[in-house]
Amino acid sequence: MSIKSSDIRFSNDTFVAGETVRIYIRVRNLGDTDISGYIGFYSGSELINSSQVVTLVADGAYEEVWVDYTIPHSPSFNIRALVKGTSPQDTNSSNDEILTPLYSIIVDDDGDGVDDETDNCLNVSNTSQTDTDGDGAGDACDSDDDNDRLSDSVEDELGTDPIDSDTDNDGYSDADDKYPLDSSKHEEVVVLDLIPVLVQEVIPELFNDDQDSGNGADQIEEESELQAQDQDLESQTALERSSGSVLHVSPNASFVYTRENWKTYAFQSLAHLSTYSVLSWDFSDGSLSSLESVSHEFPSYGTYQVTLRLTDEQGVIHEDIQELTISFFHLSNPFVQIILGLLMVLLIVSIFTTVRTRVGKEAGNKEEIRNEVMEVKAVKKIKSVAKKKTKTKK
């Protein structure tokens, strides 16, 4: 039997650590006697496996044998093949063994065909290796593909392009643009209360009396503040009325929230639009939002931390964290409904069993009374017959 190193091949041309490949080798009988045998495949000194036994006719055609091999987690490997178990005994051992050159191994933990040394997403399959913002993290594992400080999930919620930092092409980043979908504007229009300005600047000039005008300005400004406080109270009352639930305030008074049902809460930011550049909610269940007012349904019962992050114009991040506990025991919980349903079934079965037992006992009592009555009647009848017989004999 004869083998050559040029006659060995693999099912794959790329060798990835942890994957299984099939090793083939062609075998030929160069002698003048029919022969049988098999090939042992080795990695180093360790036996991989032995091929199937083949029978080769004298000076006949090639036969191909194979084994499966799992690529090791090492820089490289080679294969040694050895003719074994020949019958009759192989008389020429010079062509019974071959050794392949070293083959390089790719370590690819996510199975995308890219070596971990160059893969920009080690644990997420990313064949294209697309990296929109060029930050070294591929889009498949980058939470902010365009690097505009808004996560992709937040941009999906806003309707902006997650791979374009300036969706409306107005020259302002989506994170800094108050209207990221409207190229005609980018800043929020804030209507200022001009009454205090008029009171402090115009009225003193008209009356030319600093003291009197100052007192008048103070009085009007005070009335304006009181009016604003009344409006805030009316707004808060409206929130409580609209939700129908108790209004709760976060620890740092950055937002308020109400409970809508078992695991759904409504949240409202209290921060003024002009005091921050970025707003984001984190509900600690994998969900995020950038809306000022949002209603969120948590996945299940448990304890969650709701975080409101506010980033001001200087890039300083302010956080307000509220811990919420959603109880398991609630009528809206399907598991509680099942438990209550089972309890109801057990109660009904218990009542039915009790009633049936009582009815059975009453039926048994009636049967006993009936039997006693029958026995009394039978005794009376026997006595009556005996009495008649006695009279007849006399």
What digits encode the pLDDT tens for the residues 214-267? 455 555 555 555 555 445 444 444 444 444 578 899 998 889 999 999 999 999
Tokens in use for 17?
A: 């650590």
More confident residue, 299 or 115: 299
Q: How confident is the model at residue 61 (pLDDT cuts 50, 70, 90)?
A: confident
Least confident of 21-30, 99-108, 331-340, 384-393: 384-393
The encoded tokens of residue 228 equal: 């604003």
Q: How far is CA 313 from CA 155, 242, 275, 317, 320, in A?
A: 20, 33, 8, 10, 18
Contacts 24+ apart (CB under 8 A), 220-227: 220/195, 220/196, 221/195, 221/196, 224/193, 224/195, 224/196
The residues near 43 (Cβ < 8 Å, ≥ 6 apart) are: 69, 72, 77, 78, 79, 80
Asked if residues 2 and 94 have their Cβ atoms less than 8 Å apart, the reply is no
Q: What is the 3-state secondary structure (H, E, C) of 99-139?
A: ECCCEECECCCCCCCCCCCCCCCCCCCCCCCCCCCCCCCCC
* Contact assessment for residue 321 and residue 251, using Cβ atoms and an 8 Å cutoff: yes
Helix runs in 244-298, H state only? none
Q: CA 1, CA 364: separation in Å to the nearest integer?
A: 96
pLDDT value of residue 222: 57
- More confident call, 191 vs 368: 368
- Is residue 138 within 8 Å of residue 126, measured between CB atoms? yes
- Residue 136 pLDDT greater than 80, yes or no: yes
Q: How far apart are CA 275 and CA 251, in angstroms?
A: 19
Is the sign of the CA dihedral 11, 16, 17, 19 positive or negative?
negative
Provide the whole-model pTM: 0.40
pLDDT tops 80 at residue 2:
yes
Task: Kindly state the average pLDDT of the residues 147-159.
Answer: 88
- Tell me the CA distances in angstroms from 250 to 258, 261, 320, one per residue in order: 11, 19, 7
Instruction: Identify the residue whose tokens are 């009592």.
Output: 365
* Tokens standing for residue 161: 């392009």
- Where would I find the H helices in the chain? 152-158, 195-197, 203-207, 210-243, 334-393
Residue 374: pLDDT band with limits 50, 70, 90: confident
| DSSP letters for 335-355 | HHHHHHHHHHHHHHHHHHHHH
Measure the CA dihedral 313/315/318/319, to 10°. 130
Percent of the chain with pLDDT over 90: 42
The region of weakest confidence among 39-53, 74-88, 123-137 is 123-137
| Mean pLDDT computed over 281-291 | 93
Look at 203 and 272; give whichever has higher pLDDT. 272
Separation CA 93–CA 269 (nearest Å): 85
Report the DSSP pairing between strands 278-282 and 248-249: unpaired
Show the tokens assigned to 73. Answer: 């987690």
Local confidence band at 324 (pLDDT 50, 70, 90 cut-offs): very high
pLDDT band at 304 (very low <50, low <70, confident <90, very high): very high
192-201, long-range: CB within 8 Å, 24+ apart, which pairs?
Answer: 193/224, 195/220, 195/221, 195/224, 196/220, 196/221, 196/224
Which residue do the tokens 């392009």 mark?
A: 161
User: Which residue type, as a one-letter code, is found at position 175?
Assistant: A
What pLDDT shows up at residue 333? 87
Q: Is 272 exposed, middle or buried (0-12, 13-18, 19+ CB in 10 A)?
A: exposed
Single out the residue of 330, 161, 364 nearest to residue 261, CA to CA. Answer: 330
